[in-house]
C-alpha cells in the first residue's frame, strides 16, 4: 500500500539524470531538493501569486466539503426516516444518477452553467460537487439504521424535525460523515476546473502545478515534486479522520 507513495517521494528527490537513467532505479542515489526549488522558481514567475492558487484550492475544498455534508445529510434524513409522496421514485432517480460518470455529464452541465452565468465563478466548481448523489446515497443508507424509538422519544420531548436531525441523527452517523469528508476532500483537492475556470486569479492549485510541470521534459523533476505536494494533504486528512471513523463505528447508535 505504501509503495506508490514511497516511489513518488523518491522520484521527487532524484536529480534529472537519475530520473532518465537506464535501466531505471527505484531508489535515489544522490537525493536533493532541487526539484522543489525548481518548482518554487517556476511558480514565482507566474502572473498571479502562487499563494492565490493555494487559497483558491483551500477555499473550494473546505467550503465544498462542508456544504456537501450539510446538504447531503439534510436531504438524506427525510428519505431515510419519513415516507412522503414520490420518495421512492425520487430516490430511484438519485440511485440511477450514480451510474453516470463525470465525462458523460460534462457537456450538458457546462451548457447549463453557461446559461446561468456560473462560468468563471467558484460556484461552477462547488455546484456539481455539493449536488453529487454519492453523499445522499451513503448517508441515507446509514441513517436508515438509526433507532426509530430514539427519534420518537425525542419527538415526545418536544424536538422538531430540525432538532432531531441536529441532535440525534448527525451524532449517530459520524462514521458515514467522516467517510464522506475523506471522499469530498480528496475529489475537491485534486479538482482542476479547467473547463469552467479561465480567469488566472481563480485557477486552482492542481491546474497551476500541471501547467508548470508539463512545460517540458526538463521539468520532469518539478512534476514529481508537484505530485508529492498534491498528495500530502489528502493523506493527512485520511490519517486524522480514519481513527475517528473506527472509534465512532464502535460506539455510535443503538439497535432495536
Residue 251: pLDDT band with limits 50, 70, 90: very low
Residue 68: pLDDT band with limits 50, 70, 90: very high
Looking at residues 91-108, what average pLDDT do you find?
84
Greater confidence (133 vs 252) lies with: 133
- Is residue 240 over pLDDT 60? yes
Supply the pLDDT for residue 62: 93
For the stretch 5-28, pLDDT in tens is 888 888 888 887 788 777 888 888
Domain(s) labelled CATH 1.10.3720.10 in the chain stretch across 51-217+234-251
> How many C-beta atoms lie closer than 10 Å to residue 58's C-beta?
15
151, 168 Cβ separation under 8 angstroms:
yes
- Is residue 249 over pLDDT 70? no
Q: Percent of the chain having pLDDT more than 70?
A: 92
Supply the pLDDT for residue 248: 54
Most confident of the following: 41-55, 69-83, 144-158: 69-83
Report the 3 state secondary structure along the chain: CCHHHHHHHHHHHCCHHHHCCCCCCCCCCCCCCHHHHHHHHHHHCCCCCHHHHHHHHHHHHHHHHHHHHHHHHHHHHHHHHCCCCCHHHHHHHHHHHCCCCHHHHHHHHHHHHHHCCCCCCCHHHHHHHHCCHHHHHHHHHHHCCCCHHHHHHHHHCCCCHHHHHHHHHHHHCHHHHHHHHHHHHHHHHCCCCCCCCCCHHHCCHHHHHHHHHCCCHHHHHHHHHHHHHHHHHHHHHHHHHHHHHHHHHHHCCCCC
**Hunting for cell 515534486 — which residue is that?**
225
Please tell me the pTM assigned to this model. Answer: 0.82
Residue 235: pLDDT band with limits 50, 70, 90: confident
**Nearest to residue 125, comparing CAs of 110, 137, 105?**
110
Residue 66: pLDDT band with limits 50, 70, 90: very high
Looking at residues 87-105, what average pLDDT do you find?
85
Residue 253: pLDDT band with limits 50, 70, 90: very low
For the stretch 198-210, pLDDT in tens is 888 888 888 877 7
What fold is seen in the domain 51-217+234-251?
MetI-like fold (1.10.3720)
Amino acid at each position: 500500500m505504501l509503495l506508490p507513495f514511497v516511489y513518488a517521494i523518491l522520484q521527487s528527490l532524484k536529480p534529472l539524470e537519475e530520473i532518465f537513467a537506464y535501466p531505471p532505479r527505484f531508489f535515489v542515489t544522490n537525493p536533493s531538493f532541487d526539484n522543489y526549488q525548481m518548482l518554487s522558481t517556476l511558480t514565482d514567475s507566474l502572473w498571479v501569486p502562487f499563494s492565490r492558487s493555494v487559497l483558491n484550492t483551500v477555499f473550494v475544498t473546505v467550503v465544498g466539503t462542508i456544504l456537501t455534508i450539510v446538504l447531503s445529510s439534510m436531504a438524506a434524513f427525510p428519505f431515510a426516516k419519513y415516507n412522503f409522496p414520490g420518495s421512492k421514485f425520487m430516490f430511484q432517480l438519485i440511485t440511477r444518477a450514480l451510474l453516470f460518470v463525470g465525462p458523460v455529464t460534462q457537456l450538458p452541465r457546462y451548457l447549463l452553467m453557461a446559461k446561468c452565468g456560473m462560468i468563471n465563478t467558484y460556484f461552477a466548481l462547488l455546484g456539481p460537487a455539493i449536488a453529487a448523489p454519492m453523499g445522499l446515497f451513503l448517508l441515507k443508507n446509514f441513517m436508515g439504521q438509526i433507532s426509530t424509538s430514539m427519534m420518537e422519544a425525542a419527538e415526545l420531548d418536544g424536538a422538531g424535525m430540525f432538532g432531531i436531525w441536529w441532535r440525534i441523527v448527525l451524532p449517530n452517523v459520524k462514521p458515514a460523515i467522516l467517510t464522506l469528508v475523506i471522499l469530498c476532500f480528496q475529489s475537491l483537492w485534486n479538482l482542476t476546473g479547467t473547463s469552467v475556470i479561465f480567469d488566472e486569479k481563480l485557477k486552482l492549485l492542481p491546474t497551476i502545478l500541471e501547467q508548470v510541470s508539463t512545460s517540458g521534459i526538463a521539468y520532469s523533476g518539478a512534476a514529481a515534486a508537484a505530485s508529492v505536494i498534491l498528495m500530502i494533504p489528502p493523506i493527512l486528512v485520511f490519517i486524522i479522520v480514519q481513527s475517528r471513523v473506527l472509534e465512532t463505528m464502535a460506539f455510535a447508535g443503538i439497535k432495536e
